[in-house]
Amino acid sequence: MRIRFSNTNSLKTASKYLSKKTSTKLCDSQNLLAKALGYQDLFDLQHKLDSGEKVPASLDKNESITSIFDLTKNISSKFDCRIGEALHAITKFGLVNTRSLSFQDLLEVRARLFDDIEFGNVKRRNSGQVGWVKSPGWKNEKVIFRCRDSNDTCYVFSNKTPNTTLAVFEYMSPKMKIPLFIPNRLFMPYGYVVDENNDKIIFSRDYVPLWRLRPNGAVSRDVEICDINLHAKEHKFLWDEGYMPLDGEVRIKFGYELLAGFGIRCLPKLIEFLPQIINTEGYADIKSIIGLRSESIFTAT
């Protein structure tokens, strides 16, 4: 499928980003990206623009999701880069019009890509299968099966934690595949600290940095993965202890409102560790899995 443009601005800025991320020459990056977008090379794209090829009307939500899904895989293949970086390039630089898409829609795209590439057709009660819990108080909540802990118990990744322990009979395997989801624990903000540049470093419930919010409102997910310093000159918890946006519609809605209030539309890098967390045998310590450094976030370069 060819993605059409009114100019080459977004392609050139995205090419520069991908060039740095993949150590590709800029001219090669521009041609590779043009190919991923359905052209022979950058010259062919420019020729189509000069010839007056019409730019179609904005895509609706479902068309945008499908286009981003297909284009992400194509860019990842052309550049031999991670799926997460390809998706970020598309959304950050507007290679596909994402104005009709919410943060939740981008989560859906990333979950579909995980499902399609990393997990595929997962067998019953194998790592990565989505089922639900049949137990008092769970209200048939969806969970991701991780591993057996013993003959009688297993670990599942719920919205609350990757280490929910269930009796095996409490985990219900679906007859038909349930699409993968991204647990709230990997992206919901828990609080922030302010560094020496007056940037807000927004962190998760596991005290993992998610985004950097600059004083001018610019948001970046390129934040050093190291410990949060709660002795900073300023820090704030966004939730009362025990009242986290990990389950419950009202709390989850408020969590998304927090993200919107910060102007956050890009997915954090922590999400990219979902396969490693799911495939970890036994207890899954998120900080250990992602290789969190022990020094303060403020000493990072």
Q: Which pLDDT belongs to residue 243?
A: 63
Q: Check whether residue 94 and residue 189 sit in a common domain.
A: no
Chain segment 121-155, per-residue pLDDT in tens: 888 899 999 999 988 888 888 999 999 988 899 99
Reference 181, options 145, 211, 134, 216; nearest CA is 145
Q: Which pLDDT belongs to residue 54?
A: 57
First to last CA, the chain: 41
Distance, in Å, from the CA atom of 24 to the CA atom of 215, rounded to the nearest integer, reads: 32
Domains in the chain, number? 2
At which of 85, 101, 117 does a domain end?
101
CA distances to 135, 140, 205 from 242, rounded to whole Å, are: 21, 22, 11
Judge whether 156 lies within some domain: no
The residues with which 296 forms a beta bridge, in sequence order, are 227
Assess whether pLDDT exceeds 60 at residue 297. no
At which of 101, 116, 144 does a domain end?
101
The parent domain of residue 21 ranges over 9-101
Q: Which residue has the tokens 């997910």?
A: 221
Angle at 129 between CA 125 and CA 130, to 5 degrees: 115
Distance, in Å, from the CA atom of 73 to the CA atom of 116, rounded to the nearest integer, reads: 10
Judge whether 189 lies within some domain: yes
Judge whether 147 lies within some domain: no
Q: Which pLDDT belongs to residue 57?
A: 47
